[in-house]
């Protein structure tokens, strides 16, 4: 005779990912590495911003990059040319990076020789926002050509990030993008977020971004003591 049985689990679906994220966070803390997770749509300019950031950062910082893409080694090669250590994760069609992928590849980087680790997530404004990768900060990149509607249409990404880099501001004179409305939308979703306007092409605003990294790095270092 059989009877029906209900097993109560009440288990967080992302528990395994979050455990891996804590492992990554622990390794990075041991090695004194500050980690930023960059997320955006495809084509918003993540790799170009990274190339410029590596050039503009004070030379005291040694930079490592984990590149997340569906396929190819192209971005990692671009980053190596800029003078940083880079490893590539190919998700083979997967639309986001998760902490288990980071944990698996982390030790391929020369961790003793890195102060700041950037994770360039897969280009996607939805899926990556749900995954803790063990980073100190999550950053969203939005570009002017994508239009004003992206912040209200993809609120979870902007709710779960602490900073928005508005890229390609050199195109503002040619496109119907209203920065005031974008700021208003961002505050309406996440009042604790902030926005830095920049152009990785003309370098305008890059100094503010570099200052933000400096300040955040120093705050983190202070908290580590």
Task: Show the site string, 57-96: x = touches another protein by CB under 8 A, - = not.
Answer: -------------------------------------xxx
Residue with tokens 């986001």: 96
Near another protein in 100-139, by CB under 8 A = 126-127, 129-130
User: Toward another protein, which CB reaches closer, 2 or 59?
Assistant: 2
Q: Can you say whether the dihedral through the CA atoms of 45, 46, 51, 56 is positive or negative?
A: positive
Q: Which residues contact 52 (CB under 8 A, 6 or more apart)?
A: 200, 203, 206
User: Toward another protein, which CB reaches closer, 17 or 135?
Assistant: 17
Helix (H, G, I), strand (E, B) or coil at 196: strand
User: What span, in angstroms and rounded, lies between the C-alpha atoms of 48 and 74?
Assistant: 12
Near another protein in 162-221, by CB under 8 A = 185, 187-191
Are 92 and 12 spatial neighbours (Cβ–Cβ below 8 Å)?
no
User: Toward another protein, which CB reaches closer, 148 or 199?
Assistant: 148
Of 164, 50, 64, the residue nearest 110 (C-alpha): 64
User: Toward another protein, which CB reaches closer, 5 or 225?
Assistant: 5
Say how many residues touch another protein, by CB under 8 A: 35
> Quick check: 223 binds another protein (CB under 8 A)?
no
Name the strand (E) or helix (H) holding 80: helix 74-82
CB of 193 to another protein, least distance (A): 10
Binding site for another protein (CB under 8 A): 1-17, 94-96, 98, 126-127, 129-130, 152, 155-156, 159, 185, 187-191
């Amino acid at each position: 005779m059989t009877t029906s049985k209900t097993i109560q689990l009440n288990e967080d679906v992302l528990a395994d990912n979050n455990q891996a994220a804590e492992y990554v966070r622990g390794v990075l803390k041991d090695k004194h590495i500050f980690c930023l997770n960059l997320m955006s749509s495809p084509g918003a300019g993540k790799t170009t911003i990274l190339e410029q950031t590596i050039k503009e950062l004070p030379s005291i910082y040694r930079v490592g990059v984990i590149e997340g893409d569906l396929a190819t080694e192209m971005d990692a090669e671009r980053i190596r040319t800029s003078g940083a250590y880079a490893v590539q994760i190919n998700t083979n069609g997967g639309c986001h990076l998760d902490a288990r992928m980071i944990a698996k590849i982390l030790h391929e980087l020369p961790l003793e020789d890195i102060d700041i680790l950037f994770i360039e997530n897969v280009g996607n404004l939805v899926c990556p926002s749900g995954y803790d990768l063990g980073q100190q900060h999550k950053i969203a990149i939005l570009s002017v050509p994508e239009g004003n509607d992206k912040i209200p249409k993809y609120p979870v990404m902007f709710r779960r990030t602490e900073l928005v880099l508005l890229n390609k501001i050199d195109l503002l004179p040619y496109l119907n993008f209203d920065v005031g409305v974008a700021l208003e939308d961002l505050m309406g979703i996440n009042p604790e977020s902030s926005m830095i306007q920049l152009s990785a092409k003309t370098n305008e605003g890059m100094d503010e971004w570099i200052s933000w990294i400096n300040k955040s790095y120093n705050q983190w270092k202070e908290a580590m003591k």
